[in-house]
Structure 1
């Protein structure tokens, strides 16, 4: 099992393309400045000590050092000890709406990011449950099968964005069907689904499917996210401008609370609206705590070995080599001919 202890430092890789573009730009500018003095071949004869290849090599060594340094800061770790752990909990499948309407900003920072924060907190609170993840919009897909590894569930959760489901819509009924097929065959285990959605562009008979799920012993809970008053829908994930309809009017996305309540009621579960507090988590936790728990055994990685020291040594070697390389030909080894 591999993971990063501080994955947030991996965001520094964003600056890598900027460094490459800047380096290329400065080299082009330098070449133009040199050409003002004469042709490059003539200037090379005038400066025999100059070595462009060494300059390029030094840059790529520094570039490699930066990449290795970022990985080192993120603290790569490998799981080394596997233990069988018994947990007493329920089977919980979480379905998250990733349609474009979830980018509306009537909750901070937007519906989708707030939904991920809520679900991450829920996974922490329900640490003894087996958890599965489903993403849906116009279609539904299993993002992670049912597992006791809640840390992996949080990692998968952080990767969720609207691009995972290209077909737009809100196919809650399909998500419920897929969730029902994700549970184990253990008849004694209590089963529940938590669906977080704004209910926009609702498709299908989700309430009827939720009723069928309740009859099969699966409790359907809905977290509504957004505002009934609605919010302009950004045309991109950065919210720089808003979507408009064919007549040029700004598209406003609204939380469909009535539909969400009907689905939760049919599924013998709870409906709660999410906001910028922890009220939704508290209400949902209380609801799930009423379900009967069962004991299950699972293999988990209980210890992780830090591997950042390996990358630290690689970084030191790269920097040491870079220091030994001159921008111009080394006068000590100028006359050495290894292959002659």
Structure 2
């Protein structure tokens, strides 16, 4: 009964009339019974018939009937709510990730690449209704995961991203990486298409100018959010290997922030600078808030009216009252 609601609860105010009816009943009680005046009642003793004692039952039945009618007027009912949601403005997202050797720098913990992978994984998990793809680039680029709604595939692919100069030439080809990401989105039918382009250096390789690539993105209506990752000043960079382990040396951090700002401005995006793990997390959270997916929810209400049994109960109680009034309580002293 806990899920019952009332469409017209204002009718419960009628219950305030019941105490008045009870008071009126007791006030007029003697006038409702026939009386006989006699000089002496001694021959009759002090006996009252059982029928006379039960006569107030008629009034109780009427009160119960009135109470049932009042509750019925309040329209008790239960409701079963079902909801259906559909995405009305889907977003296709491609994350273009720099995997050059400098992404192993340890100014972010444990290094830039691993810090990025952790934050990006959380971002992917939060984008429940969107499609996401991955592009990696260094001296060249390739599509690691096409745009897909299968988050398990994206997360697994993201988890296994590593620096490997035997697979992809070292360097930082920002223009090539951006162009590859654009190619994954140009035929997309999504209402909104965005690229999250991350780098930790300056454009020093590739055959495509980054500014030309940003112009192409603008023509396709693709928004680019750019992120420069790396602390200010110097950071421990890998400079080689010794006994199979990377050797690190402090070197100046160089990020072409002017270029990254131009790309973002051209495409109506925004540039961010991630100088720490916490800042990187905040950047992805902000992008997550900036690019919201519109969802339309339709709710269906199935009402089950409960007033009919109360009306039937009231009618039954009134019928019983009328029957008793015209039979058992029809005539007595």
Normalised to the residue count of structure 1, the TM-score between the two structures is 0.54
- Give how far 1:229 is off: 1.3
Q: Is the 8 A contact 1:228 1:255 kept in 2?
A: no
Deviations 1:78-129 (A, max 9, x none): xxxxxxx965530101111000011111111111111111211111121211
Are the structure 2 counterparts of residues 284 and 188 from structure 1 closer, same or farther at C-alpha, using a change threshold of 3 Å? closer
Give me the whole-angstrom Cα distance separating, in 2, the residues matched to 1:117 and 1:273: 17
What is aligned with 1:170?
172
Q: Is the 8 A contact 1:190 1:294 kept in 2?
A: no
- Give how far 1:166 is off: 2.8
CA-based RMSD of the aligned residues comes to: 2.6
Are the structure 2 counterparts of residues 252 and 201 from structure 1 closer, same or farther at C-alpha, using a change threshold of 3 Å? farther
* Aligned pair partner of 2:289 in 262, 286, 289: 286
Q: Is the 8 A contact 1:169 1:200 kept in 2?
A: no
Q: Which runs of 5+ in 2 are unaligned?
A: 1-84, 297-333
Give me the whole-angstrom Cα distance separating, in 2, the residues matched to 1:135 and 1:294: 31
Give me the whole-angstrom Cα distance separating, in 2, the residues matched to 1:285 and 1:126: 8
* Aligned pair partner of 2:238 in 221, 234, 237: 234
Q: Is the 8 A contact 2:96 2:197 kept in 1?
A: yes
- Give how far 1:280 is off: 0.7
Deviations 1:55-91 (A, max 9, x none): xxxxxxxxxxxxxxxxxxxxxxxxxxxxxx9655301
Q: Is the 8 A contact 1:220 1:264 kept in 2?
A: yes
What is aligned with 1:71?
none
Q: Is the 8 A contact 2:93 2:194 kept in 1?
A: yes
Q: Is the 8 A contact 1:270 1:284 kept in 2?
A: no
What is aligned with 2:226?
222
- Give how far 1:235 is off: 3.2
Give me the whole-angstrom Cα distance separating, in 2, the residues matched to 1:172 and 1:207: 10
- Between Structure 1 and Structure 2, the one with more strand by share is 2
5 Å-filtered alignment, 1:103-182, equals 103-163=104-164, 165-182=167-184
Query: Paired residues, what number?
Result: 203
Are the structure 2 counterparts of residues 122 and 241 from structure 1 closer, same or farther at C-alpha, using a change threshold of 3 Å? same
Give me the whole-angstrom Cα distance separating, in 1, the residues matched to 2:295 and 2:91: 6
Three-state SS of the structure 2 residue aligned to 1:163 is coil
5 Å-filtered alignment, 1:295-306, equals none
- Give how far 1:167 is off: 1.0
Three-state SS of the structure 1 residue aligned to 2:142 is strand
